[in-house]
Amino acid sequence: MEASRIESLLAPFLSPRSFRKDTGADEPRVEAGGPLSPIQLENISTYIDLLRRWNSRMNLTAVREPEEVLTRHFGESLFAARHLFPVAGGRRRTTNQVIDVGSGAGFPGLPIKIWAPDVHLTLIESNQKKASFLREVVRTLTLTNVDVFSDRAEDFPATAEVVILRAVERFEQILPIAARLVAPAGRLALLIGNSQVSQAENLAPRFSWDFPIPTPRATNTVLLIGEVQAS
């Protein structure tokens, strides 16, 4: 896919302003950080090509059209990335450790890595075939400081400053596990349906939750970010 088309389709997700559906008020401004670099655009294009090839052999994602993959998967992932790691004073905020629980085809973890290359990313994916695909993406894009943990999230032995979870099955079982992987003073970021917000807040009571932010072009998907409350 041409770089200009990628930029055009991702623009709504990287715009510096979000909009509250409930009140009509603007969210606090989050700097977009300028256009994606040529390397980032090339990585996204290569990633889409890999996804299409592997998807012809195994079911990585039900979304198969390249432009829909771009807006549904990359768009939502980069929307989360720019809120978690915004630009401040000309520099992008980064953190040492990020965990993507139930990574599947790599969303949102790998686009977050493309957005914020300095993070140390762990992709947790127990499906061995999907884990093989993730390793192939990491190798092809020559990404560094990316680990693929091909086992259950409850068996992962460490914590991270940021843990992210997106549209997983068995949400009520996996969310408390993801919450336990968040380090003290860390953040838990969820890309979920708007109807799941109350459930998330009840399942993870030790977090102080921000107002859910609707994702662009989605009817009910929101980004919900919580921070571990001080004891």
pLDDT at 20: 44
Residues 105, 48: contact at Cβ < 8 Å? no
Asked if residues 206 and 231 have their Cβ atoms less than 8 Å apart, the reply is no
Condensed to tens digits (0 to 9), the pLDDT of residues 10-57 reads 999 998 754 444 444 444 445 545 579 999 999 999 999 999 999 988
Question: If you average pLDDT over residues 188-203, what whole number do you get?
Answer: 95
- For the record, the structure tokens of 189 come out as 């970021």
Does the pLDDT of residue 107 top 60, yes or no? yes
How many structural domains is the chain composed of? 1
Burial of 134 (0-12, 13-18, 19+ CB in 10 A): buried
Look-up: residue for tokens 């978690």?
84
Largest CA distance in the chain: 50
Q: What is the pLDDT of residue 28?
A: 46
Amino acid 23: pLDDT: 42
d(CA 127, CA 148): 11
pLDDT digits (tens, 9 = 90+) for 123-182: 999 999 999 999 999 999 999 999 999 999 999 999 999 999 997 778 999 999 999 999
Q: Are 12 and 18 in contact (CB under 8 A)?
A: no
In angstroms, the CA 100 to CA 120 distance is 11
**Residue 108 scores a pLDDT above 80:** yes
Domain containing residue 121: CATH number: 3.40.50.150
Q: What's the predicted TM-score (pTM) here?
A: 0.90
82: which 2 tokens? 């720019």
DSSP E strands, 129-181: 146-149, 160-166
The structure tokens listed for 80 are 């989360």
Identify the band that residue 70 occupies on the pLDDT scale cut at 50, 70 and 90. Answer: very high
Q: Please classify residue 145 by burial: count the beta carbons closer than 10 Å to its beta carbon, then call 0-12 exposed, 13-18 middle and 19+ buried.
A: middle
Q: Which domain holds residue 8?
A: 3-228
Quick one: tokens of 204? 């993870």
Q: Which residues make Cβ contacts (< 8 Å) with residue 59, sequence separation at least 6?
A: none
Residue 99 pLDDT greater than 90, yes or no? yes
pLDDT tens for residues 198-228?
999 999 999 999 999 999 986 789 999 999 9
Cα 159 to the center of its chain, rounded Å:
17
Angle between helices 3-14 and 76-84 (to 10 degrees): 60
